[in-house]
């Protein structure tokens, strides 16, 4: 039987485009994983030509935040896929990234939670939110707890990382319109804050969140202070 030897073992060309975004204290890398890929290893170099060194050991999925980039210093990045057959060489087409220096105020992140459906994933937007900040929520008997974590997904807190602050705006939707709620971050010994929901049933507050670090916000109905009763009309003399 005549045929071209080795044709069945030829691997299809791996196609994906690496993108970089300069963030406060980090470089955010994003790409679309190719089918059949177990993960990727991000490589970094000071020069386009290399040499490139891996930034982590185990494979990761996008997005990836390089939190050890020195602000103001340019780097080049490449990604190397991991397949069931083993590691592959870095893909062509490196991209450049440069972390921005922290400003006088922390970078902003917005977290939106639906109290009516706490099982749904939180919606996060802002500076490096998808790679640096995660949020989960629980709701029981009208009380909502939102836990916000600021850490790159591939860097456990045991590894020293730069202190990168994030100012997180937490929005809790799906609450009782016109109700009053008590707000208190876990561990905060100060007085509780009061928040009133508008016709849209939304409460909004902010948290300062260092990295690595986490904070939990507790939002409970205020049942100790009933709504003021309407004033009675003076019947007159």
Distances (CA, A) of 79 to 46, 49, 60, 89, 212: 15, 14, 10, 8, 25
Number of domains in the chain: 2
Range of the domain at 43: 16-98
- Nearest Cα to Cα of residue 41 among 95, 75, 77: 77
Q: Which of 98, 126, 142 is the last residue of a domain?
A: 98
Whether 113 is in a domain gets the answer: yes
Residue 127 CB burial class (10 angstroms; 0-12, 13-18, ≥19): buried
In this structure, what are the phi and psi dihedrals at residue 141, rounded to the nearest 5 degrees? Answer: 50, 40
CATH number of the CATH domain containing 133: 2.60.40.1500
Query: Mapping DSSP to helix (H, G, I), strand (E, B) and coil, where does residue 61 land?
Result: coil
Whether 111 is in a domain gets the answer: yes
Q: Quote the pTM value.
A: 0.76
Q: How far apart are CA 106 and CA 98, in angstroms?
A: 18
- In this prediction, residue 226 carries a pLDDT of 55
Q: How far apart are CA 32 and CA 133, in angstroms?
A: 20
**Is 217 found in the same domain as 114?**
yes
**Is 83 found in the same domain as 147?**
no
**Is 73 found in the same domain as 160?**
no
- In this prediction, residue 35 carries a pLDDT of 86
CATH number of the CATH domain containing 92: 2.60.40.10
**Is 215 found in the same domain as 111?**
yes
**Is 211 found in the same domain as 136?**
yes
pLDDT in tens, 14-35: 667 899 999 998 999 999 998 8
Q: Which tokens go with 17? A: 């485009």
Average pLDDT across each block of 10 residues of the chain; the chain has 237 residues. List them in order.
Answer: 40 73 93 90 95 91 91 95 84 93 86 87 91 90 90 61 81 92 80 88 91 89 64 55
């Amino acid at each position: 039987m005549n045929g071209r030897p080795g044709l069945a073992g030829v691997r299809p060309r791996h196609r994906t485009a690496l993108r970089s975004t300069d963030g406060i204290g980090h470089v955010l890398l994003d790409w679309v994983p190719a089918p059949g890929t177990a993960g990727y290893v991000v490589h970094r170099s000071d020069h386009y030509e290399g040499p490139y060194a891996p930034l982590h050991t185990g494979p990761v999925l996008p997005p990836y935040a390089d939190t050890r980039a020195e602000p103001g210093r340019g780097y080049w990045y490449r990604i190397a896929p991991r397949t069931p057959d083993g590691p592959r060489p870095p893909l062509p087409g490196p991209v450049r990234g440069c972390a921005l220096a922290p400003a006088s105020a922390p970078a902003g992140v917005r977290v939106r939670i639906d109290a009516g459906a706490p099982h749904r994933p939180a919606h996060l937007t802002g500076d490096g939110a998808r790679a640096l900040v995660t949020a989960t929520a629980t709701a029981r008997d009208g009380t909502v707890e939102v836990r916000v974590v600021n850490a790159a997904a591939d860097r456990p807190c045991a590894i020293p990382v730069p202190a990168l602050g994030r100012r997180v705006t937490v929005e809790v939707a799906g609450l009782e319109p016109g109700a009053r709620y008590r707000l208190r971050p876990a561990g905060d010994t100060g007085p509780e804050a009061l928040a009133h929901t508008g016709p849209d049933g939304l409460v909004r507050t902010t948290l300062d969140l260092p990295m690595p670090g986490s904070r939990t916000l507790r939002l409970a109905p205020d049942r100790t202070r009933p709504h003021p009763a309407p004033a009675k009309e003076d019947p007159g003399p």
